[in-house]
Structure formats: C-alpha cells, structure tokens
Structure 1
Amino acid sequence: MAVSQDIPFAPAHNTIITTQSATNAWGGERTGSEPTLSDRVVSYSIDADLDAAKHAVTGKEHMTWRNRSDREVRSVYFHLYLNAFQNDGSTFFTERKVLTAHGQLRGNAELEKGQWGGIRLQNVQQNGAPLKWSFVHPDGGPSTDETVVRIDLAQPVPAGGTLALDIDFLSQLPRVVERTGWWGDFNLVGQWFPKIGVLELPGERGATQARWNVHEFHFFSEFYADFGLYDVRLTVPSDYTVGAVGKLQAAPEQKNGKTTYHFVQGDVHDFAWVAAKGFKTMDGTYEGPGSPKVAVRVIYPAEYEASAAPTLKSSIDAIGYFSRTLGPYPYETLTAVIPPYNADEAGGMEYPTFFTSEGYKQVEPDTINQMTSDFVNIHEFGHGYFYGILASNEFEEPILDEGLNEYWDNRMLRERKQELVVATPFTKRLGITPHINGFTFERMTATLFHPADPLAQNSWDRLSATSYGTVYSRTATAMHDLEERLGRPALEKAFRLYYQRWHFRHPSVADLRAALIDSSGNAKEVDAVFNEYVYGTAFIDDKVSDIDSYEVLPQAGVTWKDGKQTEVVASELDKEIDKKRSEWDKAHPDAKPGAPGPYPWHSTVSVRRDGVPTPELLRVTFEDGTHEDVTWNDDRRWVRFDFVKPSKVVSAELDPDQHNLLDRDRLNNSLTTKPNGAASTRWTADISALLQALYSALATM
C-alpha cells in the first residue's frame, strides 16, 4: 500500500544520471580549510554487547541527524539491512532466485534452522516520546521485505534543524551468506544497526526535488549513507579478538569476563567490526606525504597465518599507491580481516578503514594464491577511496565504485609489473607459470559480445548475475581504452580532479564525465566512451577482411601523348617483361624469396566495421619485412587502403598495440596471406590460462 508522504522516494528504476550535479551539491567542494573533512550530517553513539553463543548484538543507539532541506521533515526512513537475511521473502532472497539462475557471483549459501538473521527494533524515542514505525517498500519489493522502515516523528524537524533519536535494537547475525554473519566463533558484524537514509536535495546526483534515497537491500546492491561521526563501544567475551572501523580510544576495559572496546571515527559513512575467538594480529605502519601515520593491522585465524604478512604488505603498498595517484589517505587506521575456512563469503568486503580479505594456507611467490591475495587486498582497500572517501551511491551507480576501483587496481598492478599468475604450487613445481596481463584478463571476462545492460545502470535492474559482474570487468576495460585515447598522464590527472572535486561528497556518473572532460579538454573521446559503453550497450568489432596484391606491370593497349598514338602489343610486352626479369635476376643473384623485384606491387587491404566507430591503427607488413602504419579514424563501415611498394603485403593487423580492448573479437583483427598459427596459438594460450585460473580459484573456495 502506498504511503502518503511530503518528500518522495528516489526512483526505483530509470536511475541513470546524465545531468551534472550543482557546484554547491553537498555543501560544495571541500577545500581542506573546513573544521572537519566532511560535512557531518549524522552522528551515531552506539553501545553494543555481543552474545557470542547466540551471535546476537544488543544495541543502544543515539543518533542525531541534520535536516539539510528547506522544509520540515515529519517522517524519517532507516535501513535495517540485516532483515535481508530474515526469511526467503526478502527482496534479497527473492531476487537471488532469479538472478543466480543465469550466472553465479556470491551469496549462494542456504540458511538452515537457527541460522537466519535480522534486526528487531525494540524501542524508538524522540526526546523521551515513544515513536511508531512501519515497514515500507521504496522499490516496490515484496511485502515480506523489511529492510526499510519509516519512523513517524512526535515533533517535525524544521528546515536546518536537528533530529535526535534513541533506538534500542537487537541484531541477530545470520550464518554467513554474504558480507556479514557468523561461523563458529567468528563474527563479522556488518550492516548491523539501524541507519538513516540519505535525504538528497535538488542538484545532487540528478535530483530535481528533495527526495529520500533509501533503497531496499537488493541482491546485488551495496550501500549509501551520509558522512558523520561514529562513537561506538563494543562489549565482547574477553578471549575474543576485536577489530573495527576507526581508532581505539584508550585501553579496553575488562569486567566479569567481558571486555569493552571504544572506537571513534569521524568523516565516514558506516561502521563494521569483527569479534573472533583465537584469532591473531600482525601490525605495521604507513607514513607518506599528506597522510597521518597510519596504524595497519591484520586480524587472521591461525590456519591462514601464511596470508598475514602478504596481506599486511599489499595493504601498505595500496595506501601508498592510492595516496600518490588520487589523494593522501586521511585516516589513522586500516584494519584487514581474514575470515576462517567456511566463512569465505565474509571475505572480500569493504567498510571505511576496515575490510575483509581471503586466506590461504600457502602463499608461495609467483602462484595464483599470492596473486589473488594481493589483488583482493588492493581491491578491498581501493574501495576505501571510491566507496569510502568519494562515497558514491553503490545502489544506483556501482560503476563508480566496483568498476572504477577495478580499473584503478589494475593500474596499480601494472605499475608494479605484476600480472595475473595462473600457476598453482603443483604447476609451478612442473615449471609451468603462465601469466596474463590484468587488463587482458578483465577483457576476457567482460562479455563484450552481448552486453545486456549499460554500465551506468543500477545494481538491481540487471539481466543476470553475469551482467552485473561485468560492472567490474567491462568498466575496467572501458576506462583502459579511454586512457589509451587520452594518454596515461592525462587520464590520471583527470581522476585526480574528480577526486579533488568530489572527495567527502557524493558524485554521480555525470560528475565523473564532467571531470574527465574538464581536465582533458577532449570531450569527443570522453563522450564516445560514455555514450556508447557507460550509457549504452554498444560494442567494437573491426576486422581485416581481405588482402589483395598484384604486380604492377607495363600495360598493353593504346595511349596518346602530344597528339600521337602509341600501341603496345601484348606479345611484345611479354618479351620485354621476361627480359627485364632475367636482367634483374642476374644483377641480384643473392636475392632472397620475397625481396623486391624489377616491378613494384600494388596491394589493397580491406577493413570492415560491425560495431561503433573507434580510432584504429592499421599495421601493414610487406614481404621484405618492412611495415607501414595508417590510421582509420572515421565512421565509414568499410575502407580499402592501397599501397604501391617494392614488395607485396603479407599481413595486416588492426590495433597491434592493443589500445582497444573493448573490441569484442580480436581474433579477426589480423589477416595473413599465408597460413599463420600465431593468432590461434595465442588465443588458445589465453583460454587455457583463463581456465587454469578459474579452476584454481574454485579449488580455494
């Protein structure tokens, strides 16, 4: 049933944003002179007590929220994310049934008796007055979904005023399904407290009026919230290891077999923590220009001790790379958690200053375990920038987080000269250690032949799990190709501008596009990538279709010159040609096959285009070993390039330096006049390496 309200919800569909945000959106660009890094709209003071046996958290939350709008607010909306794991009727589980039928990603575990989770509101008060609440469905999800709740206020919040609520709640963690939950004595506590939605204003992320952006917890969606201050006390059994978002305040306090930890962190938009029995820690530090001294901690189970040091090193390296290429890391802590065996789905998840990784019993250099460990750590840390500091809306624009982060991670790997290793310890002992360039691997998994959804599409209006998965790989590939068109320095400069404008705010895809254009000055190339791949589902498919050559010989027939007719007889011409060939052979007794002869060759290379236009370089190789490069940079569907040279053309290749990885079929980019197995051999090697990578990855799950 529709709920009467003065402030509408953000749309559930047609969420693609093409209009740039206003310059004063979210209070305007942060200059660094403000008293806080972000405009702190909300603050949470939470006391939480973990019942380790029941995997339940009893919480008392005091929340303050500032009404940034120009009108009073009579109702507010909160996320109760854990209710996604309350029953099969949630939006999360309802969508999972359909989307995982066409491709698999994560979150596929089945919950059994006693393993369900959820949040129960026990008491909500405003200035001592008890409030009523009801569940709503902003996206039209099933009536059984309870991931968004409306709380009606006793006193409206005036424009510019502040709301204070006191909330008592009980959070039951689920057995790990996705991102959060328990297994054994391990508790990853994420999305565990009632969290207010975002009230967007006109000019912010495509909004034309004030609106509540408070989507249900969809199967593929992640999170979006206002920046604020978190002051959290966690009480857990004293023999548990604890890590959390933010910085520990003073020494933990012990009482009656339990220990209370006090964490505080400002200028973030979420809070998660871990409590695990028998886990160990490994510590390090990062120091770099513009950043405070960063205390880096890895929390890990004994079974995955081999992963601790590599996780620490790659995390510290990632702080350095992202600080250098985007902006200095602004926080004093970073915590990485390695989940135990059977809790893999809790791995690979990000929160501000806190992320979860993957563990391996062996992490040998130059193996898939070492490469996967490094990549996961770099990727999850990278979210601290694209999801954390830039605070993009992961519900509606996963490209800005998952996609851009995947791209920037691969840039870091490229700088480290670190390729995707697809060797296992066993194949390494056999001397087999194949490697794949990171961007090549992304291209191979990007489903370029039939992209179902634009990259700018929201996370839930997707054809399948496979289509959502291409947000990672197809975005990385598209940004790679844009980098090739603009140049690496220009692209990196543009991303620094994007970061400078939008850090501690909430950009949209349109804001990214504007920053790329404003920095590079190349609207043509930026728009080409955005219109065709970000906002559309276009593809590139250029190919070399034909190579034709003939020797340029004297021609029989009649010609006129100065009013006089001359006729060349074919029989006489043949004798002349034979004579010239004989004389040439005598003068060049050591000439090798394919060397230039007495007559030049006319060669024609035909290229065809089945997709959208893109700048192409055509490299033509001649029989004498020389080559010539020509440019094809127009919208013609086919072109013939003619060459008159001493030798004939023996091969032609489009994009020999692989600038256009979005080309859906690179196998037809080259053609030779003689059988050449190089292309098929290279393709077979790529496929074999990919299969090895996938099989090895599956073996570790």
Structure 2
Amino acid sequence: MCLQGAPRLWLALACLALSAAVTAQDAPAPASSTATPPLAIPLAKARAAAPHEASAPDAWGGVRTGNEPTLSDRVASYRIDAELDAARHSVKGSEQLSWRNRSQHPVNRIYLHLYLNAFQNEGSTFFTERSLFAAHGHSRAETTPAKGEWGWIDLTGVQQGNAALKWSFVHPDDGPATDQTVVAIDLAEPVPPGGTLTLDIDFVSQLPRVIERTGWWGNFNLVAQWFPKIGVLELPGERGATQAQWNVHEFHFNSEFYADFGSYDVRLTVPSDYTVGAVGAQQGEPSEQNGKTTYHFLQHDVHDFAWVAAKGFRTLEGSWQGPGSPSVAVRVIYPPEYIATAQPVLKATLDSLTYFSDTLGPYPYRTVTAVVPPFNADEAGGMEYPTFFTVEGDKAIDKGTMDQWNIDFVTIHEFGHGYFYGLLASNEFEEPMLDEGINEYWDDRMLRERGQRVLAPGSWLRRAGITPSMEAFAFERLDAGLAHPFDPLGQNSWDRYSTSSYGTVYSRTATAMHDLEERLGKDTMAQAMREYYLRWHFRHPSAADLRATLIDVSGNARAVDEVFDQFVYGTVRIDDRVVTIDTSRVLPEAGSWVKNGQRTELTDDDRYEQVAKAEDAWKKSHPDTGRTKPGAFPIRSTVTVVREGAAVPQILRVTFAGGSHVDVRWDDDRRWARFVFTGDTAAVSAELDPEQKVLLDDDKLNDSRTTKAYPSASRRWTADLAALLQSLYACLVTL
C-alpha cells in the first residue's frame, strides 16, 4: 500500500489494553450436537513481531526450484460465485474453501478473517484504534461513514459436508469485544494430518463508502477484503514458530494481510454496462443474461483476490514479454476524467515489469491490472493485490514535474508489492517492513537507475528556469523519523507510538537498506536481494531470513548485524558531527634539550628570534608563493568529531588550502575522536560522509565545518530548503 498524506505521516499505536472477550453468534443449528473439543493449537501472540531466528531450511516445503508441479504449495484455494447489487453496493456470494492441514495434528477448529467487519461500526479494532491514533497525528482514513455507508460481512451459512457449523468471534490481539474481524469455526469432523478440509460458505458483503483500501463511490466499486478467508497455520521452524500456531490477527488500523497460497476460481456477475477487472486472467467470453454479465477469472498460486466493477470506465491495453516470463497482458482501467493518467500508468507498469524481472526474478503470471479510482475515491488508490493494484489519478500531468514523479512512483510502488507482498508473501501484520519497507527500497533503486529524481513542483520555478530536485533516497530520509525513532522497524503494524512512527516503516527501512548497500556494495546488495527472492518466493520469509541471506551472500556479518540490531530490532539514533578545526604552526619548542650529547636551552625569547629569522629567510627565497604556503614552519591541523548516537563507519574528508584533501576512516566505537594532520598547508574544511553514504544520520547539516564563513553555502541551503518545502506541500495535496 502507498501511504497517502505527506510526508506519509501514518499512524500506529500499541494494541489496545482492553480485556479479551469472545462474543458468540449462533449460526444455524448443527445437524449433530456431538462435538469434539478443539485441539489446543494456540494463536500467534497478540504482540508478535519480526522473529530473530531464521526459519528452518525446509520451512513452507523448502526452496521452490521451479521443478515442482505447481509454482506454489497450494494450501488454501477458493471457488467463489458472487453477484454485485450495484444499487446497494453489496455482494452476495457462495464460497467453497479447500484447505490442507500441513501439520502433524488433527485440526478441529479453524479461523477465518472477516475483514469487512472492520467497517461496520466504531466498536471494531480498526475504528477504535483510529480514534485513538487521531490524537497522535494525521490519519489516512479520517471520514466517518454516514447512514448507509458502513460496511460489513455476514456469514449466512457454513457447512462441512452435510453438517451446519457454528462459529464465534474471537480476539487474538486482545482487541475490543465488539470487534468481529476474526471468527472461529468448530468443525464437525477433524481434518487429519495431511488431510483436506472442504467448507461451503454463504455470505453477504456490504461494501462501505470508500474509507480505506476498499469500498464504493458513485458507480465505482472496489471489492477487496470481501470474502471469508482462512488464517495461516504456521509450523515449527516457520517465521519463528516453535510449535504449530494459527496466525490470524484482527484487522488493525494499520495492518494489512497474510495468507496461504492457493488457486482462485471466481465468477462475478455485474450489471452489463459495468467495466470489470480482477486478479488473474479472464476465462473465455463473458455470458450475458437479463442485463447482467458474468465474468470468470482464474488465477493459481496467489493468496488473495480483489476486483473492480465501475460504470463508464475505460481501459487501455498493453503487453510485455521478458526472459523466463510468459507473455503478460497489461491493462489500465480508469475513469474518463483521468485519461491523462492512463498512459503514464501503463508505461510505469511496463517499465516495472522489466526492472523487477531483471533484478529479482521473472514475473510468473500472465496478467497485470492497474485501476485508477475516480475523484472522491482517492482512499481506494495506492493498494495492492496479486496481479492487480490501484494507483492515483490526475487530470493533467506535465512531463518532468512532481505530478509525473508522483504517478510514476505510486505505480512502481504498487506494482512492486506484487513481488514483496505477492510472490514473497511476507506477514504484513507482524512484519510490515518486509513488504512496505523493502519494496520502497527497491522502488528507489529503480528510480535511481533510471535517473528519475524527485522534482520540486511549481510552474513559477520552471518559468524562472529553476528545477530543484533530489534523489529518491535523499527524499526518503527526510521522512524517516531519524531524530526520534520510537519503534523498531521490525515491530508489528499496530504496536506503534504514533502515526509518524508507522510511516517510517517505509522511509526508514529504505534509508537503512540504502546505508547497508553502501557498506556491502551496490552489486553485492543486488546479488543478495536476488538470492533472497530465489530462496523465499512462494514461501513467506521473515526479517531473520532476509538477514541470513544478506550475510550468506555478502560474507559481511558485522555490517548486516549492525544494521539489523540497530534499526530492525532496535531504535538507535545516528548523529555524527564535526565540532572544531584547530590550526597552529609547528614552532621550535622551548625548554632544555639534549642534542649531540650536549644539553642546550631554548627560551621563549630565543624561540621568537629564531622564528623571525626563519620566516624572513623563507619569504626571501619564496617571493612568488603568495598565500598558498604557510611559511618556514609546517602547520598542524586538528579536527575534532563527536558521536551523538550509535557508531557507524564514517569517512572524514579534510581539505587543505590549495585544494588537496585527505580521507581518513572513523570506524570504531569512540564517542569522540581527534584527527591530527601536519603539512605545508592548513585545513580549511572537514566533512564527515562526503559521499553521502550514511543517510541514517539525523542531522547532515552538522557533518561539515569550514574555517571561514561562505555566504554561498547559506544561499544554497536556502534554495534547497525552498525546494524541499515545495515538494512537501505538493505531497500533502497529491500523495
């Protein structure tokens, strides 16, 4: 997902300390009253976050080599028939869920996500957290639904064979008792180890007026998080699990999703004058009857399904082919008012297919669909599903402007989720950095490699011939919360200090990976990320698995461990600064000395006379040197540097009169250090990190110092600040 609001100030908060409760809801009575007590398979901990221990080599069935009969280990598959009531913005569905028990234990109870219940009232975990988070900063979804604008999902029947099952709402994260986003279902017959469960589920989904990620506006319907979806049964050695456990968190305000791979065979019936797009490939021609059209979509080896049905929308088609990939049909669905957006979105999608396939691994699916939501449905934009994502629209896009950069970045970002959320399928509840953060890092690499910089907006600047810009990574660090990093990057999505702290999942992760890249080398980092994808696509890696891969490929455990300990699992601050530059002549030293076996004494007066004579003689012998040489005696320059935070390797560049410079490495854990240089000229400036490799440094302005004031520097910073403010103001409007 792309955070909207700039600089992507997002919220998160610690999970509410409300008492856990289970609210039972009776379903139709089961055919038999005999029930086997559920096995004691626990739920993942309410505050679970990024594990420290790497997964077992055979986790999730081991590395997918490409020689298996299917791309993924298909655990949970769905056949769904759904019909949209366009007037009510509701969907009536029947679902057949097939789920395989991967564990060594019989399973008597399963858990389903009912995500749309996050939008049914203000008693949900989503709304309860949102109301508290509002006190800690900007929230993406700030509207309160009016009458008829709430959303929910009702189970109308769940059957296992001929047995009607009961269900009850549970609260794995100790959320409010009124939350109904997770439901437990007790089975009539247990699922044996290796066995397959088949459930027939009837449901009705009422879409909300677009609040966040999903919903309707006018004749536009983005149907996402809309069907009952089974949680993930993790096994020992998978993502830090030490025993079989159900990973099925509530729908938090900031959290997104986590699910098993499987197949989705979905038939969608909508009014015939609606444009439809969905996850996967359309099967055959749609059938029409009585003013309604039924579309059939099929996609194997994915873990979610979303679709759009909108009246009056248009489409733009394209295609792509790359080494190791099938021919890919690319489609942009957009409202007429945003026609200017369609072509840039198509091009950015095609470019992304090339870059991600070349750098990580071939794109394995046959379709990509990008949806541009209409005006007033912006909160449906910037969201991702397998082979299907939403972007943002604009009525006019000038090339070489911030508007174009924004459209390109959001498109690249949402497509990139197809790899980090889609193919790698990390747990977005517990480890959002693995998707949002690592994806943001790879997006910035793509922008850097195509030479696309963040441009300051404003036609008045362009008319004046001024186009301030900065690299994407430099822009990221401005929003990375480097001064007060309250939460580790590896924290889960909801236990966050503030809205801003969650936002740093994007920017601080990208900045941390940039700095790690500088320590390992760009080529090594590229090789490591490709290996990470090769090992873990279709397998659900953890942050510990990413760390292990980086160490294996780079061989530099020290650098990798430092970054992970300091930022993924810790909250350190970095701020190194140059404090002083002191210069002095190296003059004869007064005192009693033994020279050639004889003791002599040099008084201060003697020294003064000796220095004066030497200087006079030197000037006579160097009449044309001007001020480039200090005189008869060498110059000692002492540069003092201080660490206000964690120790990181730094380069100190000291520049001397005449233009020469010396680089020294500060690579120890001293809180301060003095570096002494003796030569013919005096030091005139000193700068830490001259090549801007340590972007995690909170204050880059104190990284350098000169012995003289240069007005041009202040003028430059003033211009850069103006450009930055323009960029940030533009983001407030556009992101």
Which structure 1 residue ranges, 5 or more long, are not aligned? none
1:105, 1:318 → 2: CA distance?
A: 29
Q: Which amino acid in the other structure matches residue 290 of structure 2? A: N
Q: Are 1:207 and 2:269 matched, yes or no?
A: no
1:572, 1:211 → 2: CA distance?
A: 85
Aligned to 1:697: 731
Aligned to 1:673: 707
Question: Which residue, 240, 243, 258 being the options, matches 2:274?
Answer: 240
Give the 5 Å matches for 1:72-151: 72-151=106-185
Deviation at 1:540, TM superposition (A): 1.1
2:158, 2:716 → 1: CA distance?
A: 63
Question: Which residue, 350, 372, 379 being the options, matches 2:406?
Answer: 372
* % identity of equivalent residues: 65
Question: Which residue, 56, 60, 66 being the options, matches 2:100?
Answer: 66
Given that 1:59 and 1:170 are in contact with CA atoms closer than 8 Å, whether structure 2 keeps it comes out as yes
Q: Which amino acid in the other structure matches residue 535 of structure 1? A: Y
Q: Which amino acid in the other structure matches residue 363 of structure 1? A: I
Given that 2:271 and 2:291 are in contact with CA atoms closer than 8 Å, whether structure 1 keeps it comes out as yes
Given that 1:367 and 1:428 are in contact with CA atoms closer than 8 Å, whether structure 2 keeps it comes out as no
Q: Are 1:381 and 2:425 matched, yes or no?
A: no
Q: Which amino acid in the other structure matches residue 326 of structure 1? A: L
Given that 1:369 and 1:424 are in contact with CA atoms closer than 8 Å, whether structure 2 keeps it comes out as no
Q: What TM-score comes out, normalization by structure 1 length?
A: 0.98
1:116, 1:406 → 2: CA distance?
A: 32
Three-state SS of the structure 1 residue aligned to 2:84 is strand
Aligned to 2:378: 344
2:519, 2:139 → 1: CA distance?
A: 32
Q: 1:426 to 1:387 in 2, by over 3 A?
A: same
Question: Which residue, 196, 200, 212 being the options, matches 2:230?
Answer: 196
Given that 1:364 and 1:425 are in contact with CA atoms closer than 8 Å, whether structure 2 keeps it comes out as no
Aligned to 2:251: 217
Q: Deviations over 1:208-232 (max 9, x none)?
A: 1111100000000000000000000
Q: Are 1:479 and 2:502 matched, yes or no?
A: no
Three-state SS of the structure 2 residue aligned to 1:401 is helix
Deviates more, 1:349-358 or 1:576-585: 576-585
Q: Which amino acid in the other structure matches residue 488 of structure 1? A: K
Q: Which amino acid in the other structure matches residue 374 of structure 2? A: P
Q: 1:14 to 1:223 in 2, by over 3 A?
A: closer
Aligned to 1:261: 295
Deviates more, 1:592-601 or 1:382-391: 592-601
Q: Are 1:509 and 2:534 matched, yes or no?
A: no
Aligned to 2:359: 325
2:106, 2:675 → 1: CA distance?
A: 68
Q: Deviations over 1:326-348 (max 9, x none)?
A: 10100000000000000000000
Given that 2:432 and 2:492 are in contact with CA atoms closer than 8 Å, whether structure 1 keeps it comes out as yes
Q: Which amino acid in the other structure matches residue 355 of structure 2? A: Y
Deviates more, 1:83-92 or 1:417-426: 417-426
Aligned to 1:492: 526
Aligned to 1:182: 216
Aligned to 1:533: 567
Q: Which amino acid in the other structure matches residue 68 of structure 2? A: E
1:551, 1:42 → 2: CA distance?
A: 77
1:682, 1:461 → 2: CA distance?
A: 40
2:323, 2:667 → 1: CA distance?
A: 43
Question: Which residue, 307, 311, 325 being the options, matches 2:341?
Answer: 307
1:444, 1:643 → 2: CA distance?
A: 34
Three-state SS of the structure 1 residue aligned to 2:393 is coil
Deviation at 1:572, TM superposition (A): 4.3
2:492, 2:140 → 1: CA distance?
A: 18
Q: Deviations over 1:221-255 (max 9, x none)?
A: 00000000000011111111110000010011111
Q: Are 1:335 and 2:361 matched, yes or no?
A: no
Given that 1:667 and 1:683 are in contact with CA atoms closer than 8 Å, whether structure 2 keeps it comes out as no
Give the 5 Å matches for 1:545-584: 545-584=579-618
- RCO (CA 8 Å, sep 6+): is it higher in 1 or 2? 2
Q: Which amino acid in the other structure matches residue 655 of structure 2? A: T
Question: Which residue, 146, 149, 173 being the options, matches 2:207?
Answer: 173
Deviation at 1:432, TM superposition (A): 3.3
Q: What TM-score comes out, normalization by structure 2 length?
A: 0.93
Q: 1:678 to 1:653 in 2, by over 3 A?
A: farther
Deviation at 1:606, TM superposition (A): 0.9
Given that 2:512 and 2:696 are in contact with CA atoms closer than 8 Å, whether structure 1 keeps it comes out as yes
Q: Deviations over 1:441-482 (max 9, x none)?
A: 110111101101000000000011110000000000000000
Deviation at 1:546, TM superposition (A): 1.3
Given that 1:100 and 1:464 are in contact with CA atoms closer than 8 Å, whether structure 2 keeps it comes out as no
Deviates more, 1:250-259 or 1:670-679: 670-679
2:690, 2:549 → 1: CA distance?
A: 30
Q: Deviations over 1:7-52 (max 9, x none)?
A: 1100011433101101111111100000110000011000110011
1:103, 1:477 → 2: CA distance?
A: 22
1:109, 1:319 → 2: CA distance?
A: 35
2:466, 2:54 → 1: CA distance?
A: 50
Aligned to 2:441: 407
Q: 1:444 to 1:685 in 2, by over 3 A?
A: farther
Given that 1:174 and 1:181 are in contact with CA atoms closer than 8 Å, whether structure 2 keeps it comes out as yes
2:173, 2:583 → 1: CA distance?
A: 62
Three-state SS of the structure 2 residue aligned to 1:581 is helix
1:331, 1:677 → 2: CA distance?
A: 57
Aligned to 1:614: 648
Given that 1:336 and 1:356 are in contact with CA atoms closer than 8 Å, whether structure 2 keeps it comes out as yes
